[in-house]
A = this chain, B = another copy of it.
Amino acid sequence: MKKNTHPGNILFIMCDQLRFDYLSCYGHPILQTPNIDKLAKRGVRFTHAYCAAPICAPSRASFYSGRYSSSHGVLGNDDNARLDEKMIADYLQPLGYRSAVVGKTHVHKDLKEISALGLDPDSPWCRASQTGGFEPYESHEGLFPDPVLAINPGQGYDTYLKSLGYDPDNPWDKNANSSVDPDGNLHSGWLLRSSKYPAAINEEHSETAFTTRRAMDFIRGCGSQPWCLHLSYIKPHWPVIAPAPYHEMYQQLEIPSAVRNEREYQNPHPVYQAFMEQEYSVSYSRDEVRDTVVPAYMGLIRQIDDHLGRLFDFMRAQGLDQNTLVVFTADHGDYLGDHWLGEKDLFHDVSAKVPLIIADPRADADTTRGQTCSKLVEAVDILPSFIEFAGGLPCRERLEGQSLLPLIHGQANVFQREYAVSEIDYADRGPRALLNLEPYQCRATMVSDHHWKYIHHHTFAAQLFDLENDPDELIDLGQDTRYAGICQEMQEYLFEWRGDLKRRCGLDYGFMAGQGPERDEEWGIIIGRW
């Protein structure tokens, strides 16, 4: 792209805890998501996209930094990213972009450490350091039970709801994330049984509606400056409370059955077993729970789709569909009772795989519109794609992913990846206590190609799934000696991956590549000459 032309905007849409297969374009049998499907027709839909960590903060930090958890340092939901981690906004700012978030990031650096250094916590850099590096145009972290609100008051959505006359103390909790039964009784969204009733809020005031409107506000205000907007919906993440009419849209329909079998209860891997014993897993293993919650989960997704339809119309009306790269994805999935599990954390596809659609408006992408791509792609590839789109140079000393644009421009051979990797550290999750582990023992890493998925555990034996012959991942072959050779090969991949992490990130790659005895001599340093 030539200088002085507008490089194009970037709309980076993320849903929280959206399973890849709960979209009609990904084959959901009931749920219809026509606007996301249309986006897929305008772009490329990736069938094998993996998050870097099937849990919020670590996953997002990888999307934003283009690096794996092991590099950016966020392995748990409360972790601070390393102070010198660069995020999307840091890379796009020198290219002329304004990068902002509307919605959730869940990625922050250590504010205490930042303050101890003497930096002004109200400076733009410090503020952005608490929202994934993005300008917090409308930060909404979407998790405000009373104790959290008490220390984190007055974010925009809270103020907005109060101005409308909702609950004066905590309208996020009492309205947006509580439901109301036909008799007018309020039910807390913190209980799954409450999902059957509509949210105690008008749809137009719900988080999804608010977030979409604020995205439009941001875009309207940008003028001619190139922008990157991270439109980051908190839903369908729990509390799973959908406003009318979305709460009941799927209640009468038969939802997909849970994917699980009894064999998974026989001799399960200890880590898997500990997750099965968590309250959320026990709950989601019950059909009554699924039948109540999954329709509301689907309703929340449909609501997002409707709002994306409005947003895409808005952009079209302004001609922005012609110069905006649109990415749609999720931070991770949700078990929803599959494999006798709730939540995410582990590496079955329903948890670790994410939907990913990329629509590039430029003519270069015309040949692939509407196609699917089955290459193994990862969250860490998103930022390199943005940098390439924005006309920047790859930051080889830091970025651990690869640009996906060649795949969208019909140059699939340029993109090479043998395996995808995803990591967790469940030190902050319930299973640690059950397993009696020290925090550092709670690491697990998935390495997967199209045939095999291998999961290495810090303290326990490895797991192995044959994705080709057991696509539902019901049979753990990790202890089957016939597969010892496969396990060995997969561990070799992981060994290589660990060794390839960009640990030497404090020096520009170009400078690095120019080092050597010649440069030493320019500085007068001559080593070992007789």
Measuring CB to CB, which residues of chain A are less than 8 angstroms from any residue of chain B?
A: 69-71, 73-76, 78-84, 109-110, 113, 117-120, 123, 125, 143, 145-148, 173, 190-193, 238, 278-281, 283-284, 286, 289, 342-343, 396-397, 425, 427-430, 432-433, 438-440, 443, 445, 456, 458, 491, 494-495, 498-507, 509, 511-513, 515-517, 522-530
Contact = CB atoms under 8 A, between A and B. Distances in A.
A385 B24 CA distance: 59
Nearest to A425: B504
Nearest to A113: B84
A506 B118 contact: no
Most buried by B among A425, A506, A511, A517: A506
Given A81-B506, A82-B84, A279 B458 contact: no
A227 B113 CA distance: 24
A235 B381 CA distance: 47
A503 B143 contact: no
B515 A78 contact: yes
Nearest to A69: B503
Contacts of A522: 147
Contacts of A525: 143, 145, 148, 190
Contact of A506 (B79, B433, B456): B79
Contact of A432 (B191, B286, B516): B516
B193 A147 contact: no
B343 A78 contact: no
B504 A73 contact: yes
Identify the 9 closest CB pairs spanning chains A and B, nearest first: A280-B528, A145-B524, A80-B506, A428-B515, A83-B84, A498-B498, A75-B504, A190-B526, A439-B512
Nearest to A497: B498
A495 B445 CA distance: 13
Given A283-B528, A523-B148, A528-B192, A512 B427 contact: yes
A75 B503 contact: yes
B429 A516 contact: yes
16 contacts: A69-B503, A70-B503, A109-B506, A117-B125, A118-B123, A148-B524, A148-B525, A238-B528, A278-B528, A279-B527, A283-B530, A284-B528, A342-B527, A343-B527, A432-B516, A440-B502
Contacts of A143: 525
